[in-house]
Structure 1
Amino acid sequence: MSEASIQHAQAWIGTCHVVLQPNKIRFWQGQALEALVYVVVLAHSSSDYKHKLYHALQHNGLDLVAVNELQALKERFSSHGMAHDLVQLARQLTPEAPIVFGRFQAIEEAAPQVQATTVPAQDDWLNEDQTKSSNTLATSPWPLPSLQELDWPSVAAQTKAPLWAIIDGVNWPEIQHELEAQDPPHACLYSTLDEENRAMAPWLVKLDPDNPVTERFVEQDQVNHSGIVFSSNQPIKVLREHFRLFTMLWTPADDKSPIYYRFYDPRVLLDSLHTLDDWKIGRLLQPIEQLYIPLSPLLGLAEHEDIDNSVDLFGEEYTYQGRILAVAPQAELPDGTVNSRKAFKVTEREFERFGELHGVRAERQLARELSGEFQLEFSTDSYRLAANMACTQGKSFYFTSQKQVRTLAQSYLLFGTDFPKGYPDIEQLMSSNELLNWQKRQALEEWIPKGIARRNIRNMPKMA
């Protein structure tokens, strides 16, 4: 590249695959959420093109999925000829208008059927009118995976396929820096180029035995729920395209605004295995030969009877290090399953069940936090009871935030399950209409030391 070409911008062109952000206006006809469009940008390089393109798309309510056939417009004309439409786009470029979009072509929602051995491309979709396909999926038999506890050496010895991890940037904030420094084969499951969003993104990482990232993943405190591990012979591009389909989830709560689906959090994944319809479990696990979930004290639930007996909610963190739950699919994915975000939408029943399990996990986590705060001052049953009462009774006091529920749980633990009965000033505080909920919580927290002193005086033995 000459010095002149570095100093002076030129027209670059790419075929851009975009997806509509929630609640934004479409630039194309129909109900499709994705589209293809030629975009011509006045840029100094391909990286400059992508940078400017990303910000222009964000401004217009679009996310970038991929850029294909990116090249300087002169090179494009030289190799493909001077197409009239592209010439017209190029003529609109000026320093004041350095980005020009062509006509958006919607990616219509077709319903191609795929075999169990294939992983479809990301832009294959299910047409809403083709209910026969979706009904077939919902009734396809898919036995729940079997669960077996292993350790890391057994995992390495068990699988012949390469090991991969999907690592949670929220629960392991340093992972992006680690990946940049050690550079194992990896890919972000988000398409965004925004650094703040990428810092919280899930990362697909190949766990090469000789790469330091693998060792550091194994050494991560498993109570942090940093990610999941699986074996697969699929290439990284295919795996990324597959798992990107599941980073967002449509729910009955809002048909137009999907929520983040953090299936790479071991707690969410285990709940999914026991909540989602059978065919959805098969779809999620399609490219996986063997799934491995690092155990933690917060993974046990009555719903997971096959592991609940071996998971102690109040166990020390170090006792879980290196304990891995192997999840083996029990059957091949049924034929006829399609690659569709809309078809994967959770049902009302599934959504309610997820909410129930989330509540149970929040309650269990609170009980564990209380045990850590008060050490051996109370029994484990007391911690469980206080957490349960705070989560269930907190709504009657309009205490719903994490801080509010925690302060209420501390109060039940310290002053008994009939609290605030017997403490008139706090009864008045909790029923006050003049204070906001956060003010009530703050006042309760400040009162607790005085309440302990009053309780202790009340419980002193009386003089004869």
Structure 2
Amino acid sequence: MDMLQMDLIRNNTFSVTEQNWQSDILASSVPLWAVVDGVSWPEIQSLLAENIPPHACLYTSTDPNTQRIAPWLVRVEPDSAMQALFESRDPATYSIIFFHSHKGLKQLRDHFRRYTMLLIPTIPDTPVYFRFYDPRVLMDMMTALDTYKLMLFFNGIEAFYIPNSYQLCLPNTIHIFPIPLDHVSLITDACLAIKPAHSDQLPPHASQSFRVSHSELQCFKELMQQRQPLNLATKLYQTYQGNFSAVHYERAAQLAVQQSSNYSIKSENEHMLLADCYLWLGPNFPANSPVAEALLSERDTKRFQRLIAWLQEEKRRIAQG
């Protein structure tokens, strides 16, 4: 089943709607909070130290190296310097989610700490890191998790807010389309609200570890696979900007994902190299490039180094006309 076709609004339990940042979100009397990814926003720790809003690290470790990659819970105080920084953050960094809640800092930290680690069926005794504060993962949760787990996650949360962006896997049933690849949009321009339809029906807080079933894990994997060409297209666009049209970036990314198994391509860098080849040589690659076709057919571990060198020469040749 195509996971994008799944009905996100299960039995009218949750809704996803477009919201206005200024009139719908900032104007609310409910306190606004953010969870920020330290990996995707490396400067966040120093910015918090400089501006000193109410905040807390979601990891217990006091090790500076660990805290640098940790998620941070932050109160978004009205008209503050941090609010301005959050509003200007590029959504393509996928580094922040927002939410409304009447709960205090300690209560929210205790709640969200439960979701920083995940138990999966394939390694049930070893927790893995879970980045629910990545807007793409938060939206995936709405599709992958069962209703009860989602209701637990929303306990004490009025609504989550994320910027609409190119790499969001939005179910067709909500009739909202992601931002196009070559369109620049801040959260103040395009914001999505995810909220429970009936907050009074939310279950009490659960203290057990956060774990997913086999079917939920499979759904997460399928959503990640569907996002792979979007990720490749984004990287191509960031590399070349206006040198090619968005359609060319997306076509090259799709072809790279579709054809990767024919050449035993597995890593992200290898996929990116193949997409780069399709971008410059067109959809008939590698049939129109016998040297590259021979390199791709090799099983030598250094074949990709030779392919990179070959592609650089081709780029120079094409640029020179």
Shorter-normalised TM range: 0.7 to 0.9
What do the CA deviations read for 1:115-148 (whole angstroms, capped 9, x no partner)? xxxxxxxxxxxxxxxxxxxxxxxxxx86342122
Matches within 5 A, 1:406-445: 406-433=272-299, 435-436=300-301, 439-445=302-308
Contact 1:144 1:273 in 2 (8 A): no
Which residue of 2 is the match for residue 403 of structure 1? Answer: 269
- Residue 359 of structure 1 deviates from its aligned partner by 1.8
- Give the Cα–Cα distance (whole angstroms) in 2 for the partners of residues 404 and 256 of structure 1: 32
- SS for the counterpart of 2:126 is strand
- Residue 150 of structure 1 deviates from its aligned partner by 2.3
CA pair 195-304 structure 1, distance change in 2 beyond 3 A: farther
Mean Cα displacement is larger for which, 214-223 or 265-274?
214-223
Contact 1:313 1:364 in 2 (8 A): no
What do the CA deviations read for 1:231-273 (whole angstroms, capped 9, x no partner)? 1111111111111001001112211222111111111101111
- Residue 382 of structure 1 deviates from its aligned partner by 3.4
Equivalent residue letter for 1:328: K
Query: Which of the two has greater helix per residue?
Result: 2
Equivalent residue letter for 2:303: K
> How many residues end up aligned between the 2 structures?
312
- Give the Cα–Cα distance (whole angstroms) in 2 for the partners of residues 211 and 454 of structure 1: 52
- Residue 308 of structure 1 deviates from its aligned partner by 3.9
What do the CA deviations read for 1:45-65 (whole angstroms, capped 9, x no partner)? xxxxxxxxxxxxxxxxxxxxx
Contact 2:152 2:203 in 1 (8 A): no
TM-score by length of structure 2 reads 0.87
- Give the Cα–Cα distance (whole angstroms) in 1 for the partners of residues 50 and 27 of structure 2: 29
Q: Aligned to 1:160, which of 16, 19, 29?
A: 29
Contact 1:149 1:325 in 2 (8 A): yes
Q: Aligned to 1:208, which of 77, 90, 93?
A: 77
Matches within 5 A, 1:218-237: 218-237=87-106
- Residue 426 of structure 1 deviates from its aligned partner by 2.6
Structure 1 position 448 matched with structure 2 position 316:
no
Which residue of 2 is the match for residue 347 of structure 1? Answer: 213
Structure 1 position 264 matched with structure 2 position 130:
no
- Residue 427 of structure 1 deviates from its aligned partner by 2.8
Matches within 5 A, 1:43-58: none
Equivalent residue letter for 2:174: D
Matches within 5 A, 1:34-113: none
- Residue 179 of structure 1 deviates from its aligned partner by 1.3
Mean Cα displacement is larger for which, 319-328 or 352-361?
319-328
Contact 1:164 1:204 in 2 (8 A): yes
Equivalent residue letter for 1:339: A
Contact 1:415 1:455 in 2 (8 A): no
Structure 1 position 184 matched with structure 2 position 47:
no
CA pair 212-373 structure 1, distance change in 2 beyond 3 A: closer
Structure 1 position 145 matched with structure 2 position 11:
no
- SS for the counterpart of 1:147 is strand
- SS for the counterpart of 1:197 is helix
Structure 1 position 317 matched with structure 2 position 184:
yes
- Residue 341 of structure 1 deviates from its aligned partner by 3.7
What do the CA deviations read for 1:339-391 (whole angstroms, capped 9, x no partner)? 1444x411111111111111222211212332444455555443323212212
Runs of 5+ unmatched residues, structure 1: 1-140
- SS for the counterpart of 2:131 is coil
Which one scores higher on RCO, CA 8 angstroms, separation ≥ 6? 2
Which residue of 2 is the match for residue 384 of structure 1? Answer: 250
- Residue 304 of structure 1 deviates from its aligned partner by 4.8
- Give the Cα–Cα distance (whole angstroms) in 2 for the partners of residues 336 and 318 of structure 1: 36
Contact 1:142 1:279 in 2 (8 A): no
What do the CA deviations read for 1:161-182 (whole angstroms, capped 9, x no partner)? 1111111111111111111122
Contact 1:151 1:324 in 2 (8 A): yes
TM-score by length of structure 1 reads 0.61
Runs of 5+ unmatched residues, structure 2: 1-9
- SS for the counterpart of 1:249 is strand
Which residue of 2 is the match for residue 306 of structure 1? Answer: 174
Equivalent residue letter for 2:191: I
- SS for the counterpart of 1:327 is strand
Equivalent residue letter for 1:306: I
- Give the Cα–Cα distance (whole angstroms) in 2 for the partners of residues 374 and 456 of structure 1: 13
Contact 2:40 2:93 in 1 (8 A): yes
- SS for the counterpart of 1:274 is helix
Q: Aligned to 1:296, which of 165, 180, 190?
A: 165
Contact 1:286 1:333 in 2 (8 A): no
Matches within 5 A, 1:7-22: none
- SS for the counterpart of 2:304 is helix
- SS for the counterpart of 2:12 is coil
Contact 1:297 1:312 in 2 (8 A): yes
Equivalent residue letter for 2:235: E
CA pair 304-174 structure 1, distance change in 2 beyond 3 A: farther
Which residue of 2 is the match for residue 55 of structure 1? Answer: none
Identity among equivalent pairs (%): 34
- Give the Cα–Cα distance (whole angstroms) in 2 for the partners of residues 223 and 451 of structure 1: 30
- Give the Cα–Cα distance (whole angstroms) in 2 for the partners of residues 393 and 215 of structure 1: 44
- SS for the counterpart of 2:192 is strand
- Give the Cα–Cα distance (whole angstroms) in 2 for the partners of residues 180 and 222 of structure 1: 23
- Residue 306 of structure 1 deviates from its aligned partner by 2.7
Contact 1:249 1:341 in 2 (8 A): no
Equivalent residue letter for 2:305: Q
CA pair 336-298 structure 1, distance change in 2 beyond 3 A: closer
